[in-house]
A and B are shown apart, each in its own frame.
Chain A
């Protein structure tokens, strides 16, 4: 807590006025300043909370070699570029932009300042200064665990997936969930709804109720708030959380949650920048690298838990791949041939739904 006195006030004012100069005075001995921008509040209990936890882990690991600032609730678009330039002008030379809507802003800032390093989460565009990397984690991997368990828990053979925006990250999750479920029950159907928001608890709850009313007796969601988990708890419908452990919102019905673990990545890349070994290279980590995990599986029969754990182990040792062919799309066309696997590019740009998904993409 900061106590107000005259010195603080003047100090703050002077610091602000001298910001541009401070930036140029930084030397190699100074700690690296690392800036983060978040698209939502750090206490959303999901996406942004997970990134903030990763930042804290990085700070703990690197100690006095780094200093860090963040700005939350940054709108996607030109505002993001302004905030990134502010952070640069305050001396930050490594910037993490943690939402895909920041992509074009991040690229512009990287191209405007050759001495900055930018890490862009879930983006795909390069910088002509070779000072930008894109990073992502394999969210779809946890979904195949949930799909497997969902099909085993369901009586009706109909599950639901509450979708946010029809972007590859969400589509590949829906597909992974459905493919895994159909390995258990070949007649499985996944009902989907697009709610076109990442964070709107009232809308999430309404959509969850609608999906349950349509006959789904198990569900999962890709939204950031715990609203859908709470609805499932009150209706007695098994569910799976995302982003962080949401079992507190569904003590009996939330069977597990996917966990995004950014800390190891943030530590490694920040350290590389401190050591002067940072190179632009895109990162796409999953279970194997410890970037994704699931919360303990609870309140399910032993065989369901064992089946879930088996898939997880398969991802870790590389023996399981939900996108191993043959895989058909909704129209029955073969999209991944027998013996083939989806490439990282296929997954990162996925724009089709697999057989068994009951719903469509906007076109």
Chain B
């Protein structure tokens, strides 16, 4: 008796949506077994990482704050990945967007008015889009692989940030500490729930995600992106330009990553500091795939990842679980998701099973 993978005539829509859920459940089960096997309270660990953040109402705000940048970057990446154009450099676009917005913040620190915050947000999008434009230009003009160029530009962005924050943008009253001055009241995102960091950016993020879902499923732009990704030659015949799509993808995902960056500055961080890059741009790649490159799925996936961050810290302080446990859970999740992808295009069948003696033999009914 053995298992056989059999190609499906059409990808299974059921499996497309069932496998992410299955991956999360398998992660919880296998995580509990692993941590029990090495001597921890395995089920307690799973409870703290996945359930406790949901059970404790005062953690909901934390989840929303943590999920927001993951979702905003994730929906941008989902669009690009649909077109099979790979922006690995969202982290850099996130940083440069934050820097561009912070630059406006520093220029306007002695000014007042309701126009300052919107200007910072626009600058954030422009900054992110500009950083994303570089790999797009290199790809279209010189055929440079965008995976490498966008990834490497992330490190350039980190150094640019280090240079600004330890140098000219350093808080003049800050004892030479490498961080900018706190932003002013006119530069802060409105807080929606007093006493938390639940800010207006979270609502804007959700609106953008839903709008992108609509665009991707109902508009010509969405159709173009999907056709370029799934059938490049058909796209050429249909008159859809590959180059134009590259521009669209990088400018859009860059702008959204930049917006996420400036949301973080004007929301939770309230300044730029060396600790600003939190790898949201890389984690959002997991979020995009876990959400099946569907903007609505990305919202759910962003929330799941945010729960593991918030819960990972709880597991550490409540159960004294090692910090690495958070990473183990996140890695398990991606592993199971990628492994179970095969079920979308293939079905599993038992073949050559010798009939058990007690049961009458049956031919495999298909």
Contacts and interface: CB of A to CB of B under 8 A. Distances in A.
A351 B177 CA distance: 9
B271 A2 contact: no
B354 interface: no
B162 interface: yes
Interface string A189-233: 000001010000000000000000000000000000000000000
Contacts of A13: 44, 47, 51-52
A104 B270 contact: yes
User: From DSSP, what is the main secondary structure of chain B's interface residues?
Assistant: helix
A137 B312 CA distance: 32
Interface in A8-40: 8-9, 12-13, 15-17, 19-20, 35
B55 A166 contact: no
Contacts of B323: 41, 71-73
A16 B278 contact: no
Contacts of B182: 104
Given A8-B41, A73-B323, A82-B313, A16 B273 contact: no
Interface in B259-312: 264, 268-271, 273-276, 278, 309-310
Nearest to A77: B275
B62 interface: yes
Given A104-B182, A166-B166, A167-B178, 13 more contacts: A2-B39, A9-B44, A12-B44, A13-B52, A16-B314, A69-B320, A71-B323, A73-B323, A76-B275, A90-B318, A124-B177, A166-B178, A168-B175
A1 B35 CA distance: 11
Contacts, number: 130
Interface string B29-46: 000000010011111100
Interface residues of A, number: 52
A186 to B, nearest CB: 28
Nearest to B197: A78
Nearest to A101: B275
Contacts of A77: 268-269, 273, 275-276, 278
A181 interface: no
Contacts of B253: none
Interface of B: 36, 39-44, 47-48, 51-52, 55-56, 58, 62, 65, 159, 162-163, 166-168, 175-178, 182, 195, 197, 264, 268-271, 273-276, 278, 309-310, 313-314, 316-320, 322-323
A87 interface: yes
Nearest to B35: A4
B48 A16 contact: yes
Interface in A82-133: 82-83, 86-87, 89-90, 100-101, 103-104, 112, 124
A349 interface: yes
A278 interface: no
7 contacts: A12-B48, A75-B275, A78-B268, A82-B313, A90-B317, A101-B274, A348-B175
